[in-house]
Amino acid sequence: MPEEISVRQWQEKFRAGAFDSKDLDTQRQAGWWDWHCHWDALAGRLKRIAPVVMGIREPIILDNYSLWLANVRSPGRKAVYDHVQFEPLGPDRGGRIFRIDYKNPDEPEKWTLYTERFCFHAAEYGCAHVRDMVQYISAMACELEQGICPPFLDEKRAAVDYILRRPVLYPSRALRREGEHSYSFLDRDDSRRKIVHVARSLKDVPPDFQASRTMQIRGLYVYCPEDAGKALSAPEKTANKSQRRKETPER
């Protein structure tokens, strides 16, 4: 297992060329702990994912997080992709772990962010350019440092409660953010991805939001165009318990 160092120390080593060599011991020191590619490809893969690490400037992450790298095989596919996981130094993680995937074939964007606060079943954010990911992480760092709960987490909880009320055979809790105040989920009954809109006020709703067909959940207004007019059941008794269950990725 490589030595646990801070992100700032990792950046200093990377700039100094400490991880340039292709030999396996060097790449393990860079943070690789698992891979499904040939080991001599790790140095090249490191250079492709490093820009997102090197773009971080916030002290809360630089000095209080370490990082680990993995080359992952996509479930059901031959393709492999890379991710870097950031974990708080010390025993108190406090729901602050996050991970960035690079070219995950199961995601629509080149860069994808998963966080413990949103849950690791679905991406919190995705983008095509590393500069946009770095900018998002910068804003997230401020939220983590100040203990701010972003509004979309309350919206997500309401959306999860909503999809658990749908009269389906196979309920799904995995939501993906689709911009401001909108989320999508895969309906496992018909294999279609569907949109759920969440609004704090009926005065601020998406264009296709039909106020007469909304459901009020957790003080928010929820609407799914595909479900308009359908009867919904009471929420599952296990919904809140499932939301409280701590979910952390294995490494």
Residue 202 pLDDT greater than 80, yes or no: no
Q: Are residues 86 and 40 in the same domain?
A: yes
Domain-embedded: residue 2 = no
- Mean pLDDT for 138-149 is 92
Q: Are residues 105 and 12 in the same domain?
A: yes
31: left (phi over 0), alpha (psi -120 to 50) or beta: left
- Mean pLDDT for 207-211 is 69
Q: How many domains does the chain have?
A: 2
Domain finish residue from 146, 165, 192: 146
pLDDT computed for residue 38 by the predictor: 92
Its domain, for residue 187, covers 151-244
pLDDT tens, position by position, 220-250:
999 888 887 666 655 444 444 444 444 445 4
Residue 187: which pLDDT band, with cuts at 50, 70 and 90?
confident
Mean model confidence pLDDT for the chain: 86
In the block, tokens 């809360």 appear at 60
SS (H, E, C) 194-230: EEEEEECCCCCCCCCCCHHHCEEECCEEEECHHHCCC
Q: Are residues 13 and 72 in the same domain?
A: yes
Amino acid found at 126: G
pLDDT tens, position by position, 18-65:
999 999 999 999 999 999 999 999 999 999 999 999 999 999 999 999
Domain-embedded: residue 250 = no
Domain-embedded: residue 213 = yes
